[in-house]
Amino acid sequence: MTSARRAGRFPGLVTVLLGVLLLGAACASGGPGASPSTSSTTAGAAMLDNPVLGQGADPFVTVVEGQYHQVFSTTDGHGVAMRSASSLATLSTAPEQQIIAGGSDGSPCCEWWAPEVHEIDGRWYVYVAADDGDNVNHRTYVYSADSVTGPYTFEGRLRLPGDRWAIDATVFAVGDASYVVWSGWPGATNGEQDLYLARLSSPTAVQGKVLRLSRPELDWETHAGSVGVLVNEGPAVLVRDGKVFVTYSGSGCWTPQYALGMLTADAGADLLDAGSWTKSPAPVFAPVEESGLYGTGHNNFFTSPDGRQTWILYHAVTNPEGSCGADREVYAQPITFAADGTPQLGTPSADPVPLPSGDPGA
């Protein structure tokens, strides 16, 4: 989330993941201002410098037929832009095109946050939160296109029960069922953000009951600083080896403790039953002092161009006090999996990383 996003939120201050495809895009400060990443050669291997996408927040990237596609909020926060490149090493400096203009076709004007792009039944959908200039009116909106690069058509608001504040929507599929997870207020006023899960009846509407999947209640996810708002947000999903894994960001992004938690369920269980889910008692990806990175959160996952690796993309700052502003940058690293399929995210690091497998480099 960008500084503009946070100021609005706190006045007074598919590729549906069928296995392992979800990735990151940036909000308003994370697009056109991004500084280039560079690649180098270390011990004969092509390396990619971190932060891989420079300045940015709430990253989302997807790989389609060997091409990386990054979506992010425009600098003015009034729309969504896209970059495309054949290598992660050149993505941050690739030409950008605006694919969504706020205020057109009856869409809201302002504060476009955390866009994601997913394929559902052969068509591409952008899910993004926006409002009319008043944060309390933030809702999630949907656009569709025949191609990942557009042109995109406005489909309207994602129809969620209660018509409440809703951001950070992501979608995934298990078998023939598609689901959406988002962050929302439990009531009509700001003070707490919870995670909610529902089944999709179409790419723009849900059916049946809504499950409150998680709320900030553990010590690690209740750091609220002077803002006082408790946060669960930024869900990302992996479906693997018969299990569903939902990572999410806990604590305020303005705090250095902003980190990732995980919820796990069997893919064959009733995902709308709270008893099907297990919440990890400790963060699964959190700041470590030796890395010099803080506020390591709002992740997404993507697969390497050859499909052999899964990578995590996340934003972080080097300010030990934490920050939700324009100083956030986007980092990436490969992850591994335990024998039972559980993602092993490792620890945040600013070190260079080898290029994703199948990536041709610059």
Kindly report, residue by residue over 87-119, the tens digit of the pLDDT. Answer: 999 999 999 999 999 999 999 999 999 999 999
Residue 162 confidence (pLDDT): 87
Position 38 pLDDT exceeds 60 = no
Residue 357 confidence (pLDDT): 97
In this predicted model, what pLDDT tens digit does every residue of 149-161 receive, in sequence order?
999 999 999 999 8
Catalytic residue among 58, 111, 221, 329: 58
Q: pLDDT band for position 347 (50/70/90)?
A: very high
Position 6 pLDDT exceeds 70 = no
Residue 29 confidence (pLDDT): 35
Residue 362 confidence (pLDDT): 85
Q: Looking at this protein, which amino acid is placed at residue 64?
A: V
Q: Looking at this protein, which amino acid is placed at residue 340?
A: D
Q: What angle do CA 314, 139, 235 make, to 5 degrees?
A: 30
Do residues 3 and 326 lie in contact, with contact meaning Cβ atoms separated by under 8 Å? yes
Q: What pTM value is reported for the model?
A: 0.89
Return the bridge partners of 292, or none: none
Do residues 287 and 297 lie in contact, with contact meaning Cβ atoms separated by under 8 Å? no
Residue 310 confidence (pLDDT): 98
Q: How far is CA 110 from CA 71, 161, 189, in A?
A: 17, 23, 19
Tell me what the pLDDT averaged over the chain comes to: 90
Residue 46 confidence (pLDDT): 85
Residue 33 confidence (pLDDT): 46
Which residue ranges form the domains of the chain, and what is each CATH number? 3-354 (2.115.10.20)
Do residues 149 and 81 lie in contact, with contact meaning Cβ atoms separated by under 8 Å? no
In this predicted model, what pLDDT tens digit does every residue of 67-78 receive, in sequence order?
999 999 998 889
CA–CA separation, 228 vs 346, rounded Å?
29
Residue 50 DSSP symbol: S
Q: pLDDT band for position 40 (50/70/90)?
A: low
Do residues 230 and 10 lie in contact, with contact meaning Cβ atoms separated by under 8 Å? no
Do residues 56 and 29 lie in contact, with contact meaning Cβ atoms separated by under 8 Å? yes
Do residues 29 and 328 lie in contact, with contact meaning Cβ atoms separated by under 8 Å? yes
Q: How far is CA 320 from CA 219, 234, 254, 259, 294, in A?
A: 19, 22, 11, 14, 6
CA–CA separation, 206 vs 178, rounded Å?
10
> Which of 16-25, 298-307, 314-323 shows the lowest per-residue confidence on average (mean pLDDT)?
16-25
In this predicted model, what pLDDT tens digit does every residue of 208-250 receive, in sequence order?
999 999 999 999 999 999 999 999 999 999 999 999 999 999 9
Residue 220 confidence (pLDDT): 98
CA 237 to chain centre: 10
> Which of 39-53, 138-152, 181-195, 296-310 shows the lowest per-residue confidence on average (mean pLDDT)?
39-53
Catalytic residue among 131, 221, 233, 329: 233
Whether 233 sits among the annotated catalytic residues: the reply is: yes
In this predicted model, what pLDDT tens digit does every residue of 167-209 receive, in sequence order?
999 999 999 999 999 999 999 999 999 999 999 999 999 999 9
Whether 289 sits among the annotated catalytic residues: the reply is: no
Q: How far is CA 148 from CA 106, 217, 259, 276, 358, in A?
A: 22, 38, 30, 34, 20
Q: pLDDT band for position 45 (50/70/90)?
A: low
> Which of 18-22, 57-61, 357-361 shows the lowest per-residue confidence on average (mean pLDDT)?
18-22
